[in-house]
Amino acid sequence: MINNEEMQELDYEGQIADESSGFTLLPDGDYDFTIKKVTRNRYEGSDKMPACNSVSVELTVWGAEDQTTITERFFLLKKFEWKLSQFFLSIGLKKHGEPLNMRWNIEGMKGKCKVYIDTYRKSNGEDGKSNKVKKFYAYDENVTTLSPAPKASAYTAPTQQGGWTPGQF
């Protein structure tokens, strides 16, 4: 997926400031995240999966001293309903044991997840590493994250954009 901001052309005498490499690999652990961008897609299908709607969710994952971006792709198939439920529980839109009509205007919402380092083979034959989400934690799971201090000891579900707060139904 092309990031339009990163593809902005610079003038020959234009000002530059960013010294980062643009890629940060966070260690395995539990982190806070903020939803940066949501894109609706269509998966064309494969030998293992039929064509279906999909949604790419770009997460900003907050480390103790750094942050990285992880893009999570959700396939809208009954087979992956558990993963969709896990995600919507994490951002506080789904209540335990109750159905939810999904909505995707969720930019800015927050949650918690378990991140791991995935090792893969690049097309040039070299080994590569990237962060992936292993699990999304429900809004009411007491998880201590590796995100910046100071932190509250318990997680409070977000209330923005129609979210809800536990105990207030």
pLDDT in tens, 27-53: 999 999 999 999 999 999 999 999 999
Q: For the chain, which residues make up each domain, given as ranges? A: 29-143
| pLDDT score of 124 | 93
Examine the pLDDT at 121 and tell me if it is beyond 60.
Answer: yes
| pLDDT score of 4 | 66
Examine the pLDDT at 62 and tell me if it is beyond 90.
Answer: yes
Measured CA to CA, the distance from residue 60 to residue 73 in angstroms comes to 14
| pLDDT score of 10 | 82
Which residues have a Cβ under 8 Å from the Cβ of 43 and sit 6 or more positions away? 49, 51, 52, 53, 54, 75
| pLDDT score of 45 | 94
Average pLDDT, the chain: 86
